Structures are given as C-alpha cells and as structure tokens.
Structure 1
Amino acid sequence: MAESELFDVLIVSGGFSGLAAAVTLARQLHTAVVFDSGSYRNARSRHMHLMPAWDHQDPERFRASARADLESLIASSRVASPAVAQISYIYTDGDETLAAELKGALKDAERYRVDHRPISKLSPDATSEQLIKISFQDGSEDKGEAFLGHSPFTRVKGPFAEQLGLELTPMGDYVVSPPFNATSMEGVFAAGDCATMFKIATNAVASGSLAGAGVPSRLREEQMGMKQFFWVVELGSYFLLWSMAPDHARRITPSSVREFGPQPQTTQFLQARTMQPAW
C-alpha cells in the first residue's frame, strides 16, 4: 500500500464485524483498508457459538476463512468493474408522479436521469453478454444496462399477519421492537427477511439469534408469573443491557440504572428515566 494511496473507507477492525463491513463495501465497488491489531475479544476461546455451519468451532478458523474469501472476492471479477457509468438512470415504470418528485429532488441532473416509461420486459442483450436489455411498452427504442438495482415491494409468506393482526411496515415487513425482535403481539417474535428491509443472510443470522434469546425471556415471564424489565446499566463508559426482575437489580452496584421496560411495542425504546438504586 503506497503512502499516497487513497481509500474510500478505513476499517479499524479485523474481527467479524470489520471483515463483514469490508465484504459489504467491496460488493458496492468501494475501496477500503482493514487495520487489524490481531487482538480479539474471543482470542482465548477455542469455540464460538450461535453461528450456523460454524457453531462450536474455533473463531480463528472463521476469521482466516473470512479473510481468504475477502481476498479472493477482491481479486475476482465479482467485484471488479472496467468502468463506472457516468450517467445513472432511474426507471419508475410508468409512475410519472414519482418521476417528477425524483427530478425535483435530484441535485445533479447531469449525473442522474429519470425515465418514467412503463417497462414491458427485461432480457439478455444480443449485442453483449454484459448487458441487460430493457424493453418499453410504448415500443420505443430498447436500452441496454450493465447493472440494474431494484427494491420491490415484498409480502411476508403465510397468513400469520392477517390471522394474528400483526403490524406491518409500509414495505410489507413485520414491525419489530429491539432488542429481541418482538412483534406487535405479545409473545410473537419475527426474524430474518420478514422483519427488516435489509434482506441479507448475515442480518438473518443475527436477528434469529436475538429472537432466540428473547423467546426464553418471555417463557420465564409466564413460568414465574412476573413481568421482566429491560435495564441498561452504566459502568463508566460502558453500557450493559439485560432483563431481570427489578428487585434483583439491587445486587449490582452501577453508577446509575435506567429502566427501558417493559419491552416497548414500537420500533423505538421508551424514553429512559433515571432510577435511584436502594443499596
């Protein structure tokens, strides 16, 4: 790496999160450099858990495999592009109102163009295997694009939303509350693609683990006949979040305790209020 070389992003982490960020940036054709100290939170552990296909395996093996995959990805054509388009087109597929709003919102009219023509089909371009042909319903000239991005409206599978009366987002996903992905109905949790606009495998794994942690908490509430609370304990510059009965909190000695619960049924935490511990 030359001293004068510039990167889009500097990543100060060679652990799981840093490597995941690097892969995500590479797939978006951004350049990044990863600074890895070689010191990891789980460095002394020979086993990691809750990671499908890697459960109870050495985290160092996972990091080594992730680094190798990242290097291979960057070296391959999967993230390489000979040229980046100087003009990007936004197709609204017949929605003239949206096209007008976008034209008014876009600051760089030379860099971004809006096309409201209804699209009839997408097909391989006969002139180049690198292009996708866009055909329009009005019979106007086809267009070839090297890259297309699309964010369609989605609908969750199954009849559960209607049967249980679960709240949905404008994009058709379940509305869930942090940290354990509780839905708008007590005792019902959602995880994965049905509960987020970020429909990627790593997010599905993380949300599944969080929901898997939240369900036992709800079961304990029923078994013990008590409502648990979510707490944030401030210890210097660190914060801990956990669920326990209020009277058990007296066994700890933090500088302050803040109550967030019971678990909110909205996507935002309830405003915290400072509690005076009784110890």
Structure 2
Amino acid sequence: MQTDVAIVGGGPAGLQAALTLGRIHRKAVVLDDGTYRNAAVAHMHNVLTNDGRPPADYRAAAHQELAAYDSVTVLRVRADAIEQTGDSFRLRLSDGSELTARTLVLATGVRDELPPIDGLGALWGDLAAQCPFCHAHEFSGTRIGVIGGESAAHYAAMLGPIASELVVLTNGEPLPPTWRGGAQVRAEPIVSVEPHAGGVRVRLAAGEPEQVSVLFLRPTLHQSAPFAEQLGLELNPSGCVRVDEFGRTSTPRAYAAGDLAHQPTFPGPMASVVMAQAMGQMAALGAHSTLMEAGL
C-alpha cells in the first residue's frame, strides 16, 4: 500500500488530522489499533458540544464522518515498526503487510505510569484522575484527595475553589517549597485504595483511613509506541517529542500531534481532546504543505 500521509494513532489528534486531509482530497491512511489513553474514562469533558460524551461514542462518530471522504482509509491494525527510506516512510503492520507513505503523522499518545499503590489502577479514569479541567467539576462540594507531595501545591490551588475540603496524601514525598497550607496533610505511605461509599477509601501505613470522593495525581508519562526512538526524533525533557508550531519533528516529513508531543516552550503535553484536535489539524496542514512544496 502507498499513501501521501500515514497517520499512526486513532485518537482525537489522528482522527482530526485525517479529516483535515480528507477535506482537501489528500490521500491518507489512519492506523488505529484500538489503544486509547482515555479508554478507561466514562465521559470526556471540557470539549465544547461534546461535554459529557463517552469517548467511544466520539470515536464512532468520527469514523462515520471520515467514511464520507474517499481519500481517507482507516485500518484497524497496529504499526509495529517505522523506518525512513529517503523521502518516504515504510511502516510494517501487525497483519504482516507494509505501508509506504510520503509523510508521517505520529499520534500514538503516551502511557500513564501510576504510583505502585494497590487498587489505584482499577480506579484510574473514574475515581482517580489527572486533569481538574476534565474531571473535577462533577465532584464539586465534596472532599477531594491529592496523591503526592511534589504536585500538592499545584493541585491545591486548582481544586481549592471546587472541593469542600482537601486532603493531601503525600505518600512519603516531601511537600514543595511553594506549599502554603490550606489542606489536611497525611504523610504516611499509602497501602491501598478502594471504592467505598460512592468514593474512595485510602488505607495508610499508620493511623485511620481517609475517605474522599475522588483522587487526583500526576502520573509519569512514557511514549506508548517505540516510533520516536526508531526514527531518532528529538525529545523534550518531559520525554515527549519536540515539535514546532506546525507539528514538525526533528526528522524531515515526520510530524507529531496529541499528548505524545509538545513545543519546547511548554513544560509538558497539554493533555486534552481539544488540544489534541488542534495539534492534529496543524500536523495535517504541515504534512500537506510539505507535499505541495515538493510538487506532490
């Protein structure tokens, strides 16, 4: 198979890139292996006209819209390896086939590494989350917990107007110099977390357990796919791919969009559906411009 643009990843960034290219009849192939960072989330928020919509419904609607564009093909397959050969990219797919593309848009996202706390993974995306913009409003007027000392000041400032009470569970981490109080602090290591009474019960190494409605924490991010390493892309200190305003990476004809990438002026990825869509659109524009300049 050959295409103008190979889009690796079927989340908001990849789907928006495909729509943008389809609108100008540019040939594009989307590789969607069914892996999504927000798969555990029941409802997505802070997305105008889609606030509260299940992510699976959003993706289904996007696929239905893309079906109207003959130049766009969506393959339910995984890319296993990518290599650049001259002015094109060769992608080896999990079904044994290969795809050759003149340009590339990486939109594979990141993987969240959670602290090793028993039960936390089962709550992630529901009663444990990262983003107050996406997840906090539904818990207005309740007791909210924050895991980790390093990010305590940041979360306390953001969640203070929303929560009736905050409890910081440092899990043995020191509080930052910017900490100014304003919340209960428990410094004991966390033994486990579990659903209880419509919220979360947090068991600590000493003392009584804490009951909160939801937990917020900052996970460690990792690239969810090996392609940045395979292509030798320059990374930011965050571990995300370094891109410019058009999503250009350090490798010619390779673009990146979504939360696997960000500009060097940002401390980390702006992890939201709207930002991923915007980055996907810009990466598609960049890829199209590259092909136009080459007379293709």
TM-score, scaled to structure 2: 0.42
- Higher RCO (CA 8 Å, separation ≥ 6 residues): 2
| Larger Rg over CA atoms | 1
TM-score, scaled to structure 1: 0.45
**Greater strand share, structure number:** 2
**Greater helix share, structure number:** 1
